[in-house]
Structure formats: C-alpha cells, structure tokens
Amino acid sequence: MSEWRFRPARDHGLTLAERVQSYDRERGLGSLITSGAWRLLCRLYLRVVHRLSITGMEHLPPPPFVMVANHSSHLDALTLASSLPWSSGRKAFALAAGDTFFTSTPASVFAAYAVNALPVWRKKTKPQDLDDMRRRLTDDGGVLILFPEGTRTRDGTMARFRPGVGSLVAGRPIPVVPCWIEGAFAAWPATAKFPRPGPLRLIIGEPLLFTETAQDRAGMVAIAEACEAAVRGLAPKR
C-alpha cells in the first residue's frame, strides 16, 4: 500500500484576499468550474467575433509545458488559454501585471478564479517567486502562458524576449511551445479601450526542449533567443 499522499492545500490558512494573490494558490472545484466556464465563453467570443482559426494543435505536448507568444493585446492570453484542450487548459496559468489586474480584491478574485493568473509586481520579482513558479510547472504539471517581451507592443512590432523564461526551463524536461498570434494588434491594441471585431489567427509551433542547456546567465540568454527566433519564424510572410 502506498504512503499517505494527501497534504493540506499549500495556501491553507490564508484569507481570500491573501490567497488570490498568493503564488501558493492551489485550485479547487470552484476555481476549475469558474475558469472552465470562462474559457468556454472566451472561445465562443473569439470564434464568433474574431473568427479565430488555430493551426498546429498537434504540436501541443502533454503538461507541463510553457507557451510563449508575441504580445500585442489583452486578447493574447485569452486566445492561448481558450485554445487549449480541457486536459491542459484546466492546468493553465498566466502571469499578469499586479498593478493592472490585482488592484482590488474583487479584481484579484476574477483574475485568480477565471483566468488563474498570478500577479507579477514590476521590478519586485524575487528569486523565490521563480522557484514557486517552477514548482507549479513540475509538481502540479501546469501550463504556463508567458509573454517574454514583458509588455504589450505599442507599435505592432515584436520586442526582444527577456531571459526570464530561460530560468524556468534550462536543464529541465519542460518543453517550450512557441506561438504566433496574428491580428490581435489590429483588433485590440494597447491604446484602445475596447476590442474591435477583426480576424485572429493562432499558429502553434513545434515544442523546443532545453534539457541540456546550462542553468546560468548565458544559458538563459540563449534560450530566450531561441524562443524568440522560433516565435518570429511562425509569423506569416507579408
């Protein structure tokens, strides 16, 4: 017979306000149902209003993995999360700017329960936070949705990838799935308050593995460059 394997939730004893902002957050039934319904709603919206088409679904590995993409719109994270099949979609989590999405408890509850977002506080990320994130990937078998540019593009061109993504996957068997989102900048740029109807396309590339890459600065930079090149390579030729 196996050892007793049940443990209390990592976030046990936190109040709701603390819990929704905590990196120790673990999802229960309520959160799964809420986010499942939210993803379904997003999928419906994207299909109907933005006529979203997806290619490369067959490239998605089983969790855990990291999804990286170009970032030009609030539609990006919704597009990636809602395109995942249920088995990996329910394990998806995204990073969201704390000062935009976690400004109040109701906003944080929405971000946590519907989107399963974790707050990032600009310039305040500690090494411990990266460890927690890595644990969410490996121990929980999660799917991290990440935009390595760090912020939405203001002019439609893709910026350089920051090396942070490398520290999560260097020397570990966690694949990185490069994705290209086309049309999101036209539909909902950072300067607009609301989205406009317009076609969206999601292209999912083949996963990259960095099991042999060194866990140092040079390795991280190399991974960021490789991911960036892979994402750029998916962009439709103009």
Partner 1 sequence: MSTAFAHPVTIGIVAATVGVVALAAAIIALLSVTGRVSPALRRELWLRTGSWAVLLPLMLGPVLIGRVTTIIAVTILGLLCLREYDRATGLFRDVVVAATVALGIVAVNWASLDQWYGFFMALMPLTVVLLAVVTIPLDSPDGYIQRIGLGIVAYMLFGASLAHLGYMSNDPNYRPIVLMLLTTVAINDVFAFTFGKLIGGPKLLPATSPNKTISGAVGALCGTSILVALIASQIFGGTPVGHPVLLLLLGAIVSIGGQCGDLMLSSIKRDLGIKDMGVVIPGHGGVLDRFNSLLLVAPATFHYLRYLDAIAPA
For partner 1, the binding residues (CB under 8 A) are 1-2, 4-9, 11-15, 26-30, 32
Measured from the CB of residue 39, what is the shortest distance to partner 1 in angstroms? 16
Query: Would you say 29 or 58 has its CB closer to partner 1?
Result: 29
Of the pair 30, 236, the CB lying nearest partner 1 is at: 30
The smaller minimum CB distance to partner 1, of residues 32 and 159, is found at 32
Q: How far is the CB of 107 from partner 1 (least distance, A)?
A: 21
Q: How far apart are CA 213 and CA 220, in angstroms?
A: 8
Closer CB to partner 1, 14 or 49, in the complex: 14
Q: What type of residue sits at position 121?
A: W
For residue 113, what is the DSSP state? Answer: I
Q: List all residues 6 or more positions away from 207 whose beta carbon is below 8 Å from its beta carbon.
A: 59, 60, 61, 65, 175, 176, 177
Q: How far is the CB of 140 from partner 1 (least distance, A)?
A: 9
Q: Based on CB atoms, which residue is closest to partner 1, 13 or 127? A: 13
In whole angstroms, the minimum distance from the beta carbon of 4 to partner 1 comes to 6
Nearest to 41 by CA among 84, 95, 78, 86: 78
In angstroms, give the least distance from the CB of 109 to partner 1: 14
End-to-end Cα, the chain, rounded Å: 61
Residue 110 beta carbon to partner 1: minimum distance, rounded to whole angstroms: 19
Residues 6+ apart with CB under 8 A from 218: none
Q: Burial code of 103-119, b = ≥16 C-beta within 10 A, e = fewer?
A: eeeeebbbbbbbbbbbb
| 65 DSSP β-pair partners | 143
- CB nearer to partner 1: give 84 or 96: 84
